[in-house]
Amino acid sequence: MRILRLLGAAVRPVRRPTELAEVDGLVIPGGESSVIDKLSRAFGMRDPLRREIAAGLPVYGTCAGLILLADEVLDGLPGQESFGGLDVVVRRNAFGSQLDSFESDLRVEALGGPPVKAVFIRAPVVEKVGRAVDILATLDDGRVVAVEQGNLLGTSFHPEVSDETRFHERLLERVRARLN
């Protein structure tokens, strides 16, 4: 929320379907994807989110948010579901535990400018991408860590931790384009 406010966006938390209906774009943040899934069911958000994503709502998923946007999740908890929309297969906790968190400078041609300082915390990795998905960033070993497809954007890492704003700017560009 801090990064979006810094960029001049009007920001509000979204926890219920009525709140979802009032926003023009959405960030699904990091955290625990299985807990976000359970809460989305408890608050009646899963189906409205799926409908809005399918209807073209601009959405940016960071870390757990990427997992929740993926059409397929590997190593999910029993019964865990995603909202879908991104034609990718994502593996949860692909880099290990919290102790295995790390930082990496990533070259992201689509963003221009200097490398992105990416902070990975119990991060997922994209194991497979569909034809309509653009790969935005990979690690040096080739593992995919940032993707986009239409109005959906996903990163394995947390750009907000390093005050990186360009991914959020990209989301806001999609919001403006959809409104015009």
Q: Model confidence over 109-160: pLDDT tens digits?
A: 999 999 999 999 999 999 999 999 999 999 999 999 999 999 999 999 999 9
| 168 has catalytic annotation | no
Catalytic residue among 148, 160, 164, 168: 160
Of 150, 119, 110, give the one whose Cα is nearest residue 132. Answer: 150
* pLDDT of the residue at 100: 86
Quote the mean pLDDT of the chain: 96
Asked if 65 and 168 touch (Cβ cutoff 8 Å), the reply is no
Tell me the C-alpha to C-alpha distance, in Å, between residue 64 and each of 9, 76, 132, 143, 154. 22, 11, 22, 17, 9
The amino acid at 163: D
Above 90 in pLDDT, residue 49? yes
| 158 has catalytic annotation | yes
Catalytic residue among 52, 148, 158, 164: 158
Q: Return the DSSP state at 65.
A: H
Asked if 50 and 83 touch (Cβ cutoff 8 Å), the reply is yes
Say how far apart CA 172 and CA 73 lie, in whole Å: 27
| pTM attached to this predicted model | 0.96
Pick the CATH number of 2-179 from 1.20.120.80, 3.40.50.880, 3.40.50.300, 3.40.50.2300: 3.40.50.880
* pLDDT of the residue at 97: 83
State phi, psi for 22 to the nearest 5 degrees: -100, 0
Above 90 in pLDDT, residue 96? no
Tell me the C-alpha to C-alpha distance, in Å, between residue 162 and each of 93, 122, 155, 167. 20, 16, 14, 12
Catalytic residue among 19, 22, 32, 63: 63
Say how far apart CA 102 and CA 113 lie, in whole Å: 22
Domain extents for the chain? 2-179
Q: What is the mean pLDDT of residues 60-64?
A: 97
| 63 has catalytic annotation | yes
Q: Which residues contact 63 (CB under 8 A, 6 or more apart)?
A: 29, 30, 31, 121, 122, 123, 124, 155, 156, 157, 158
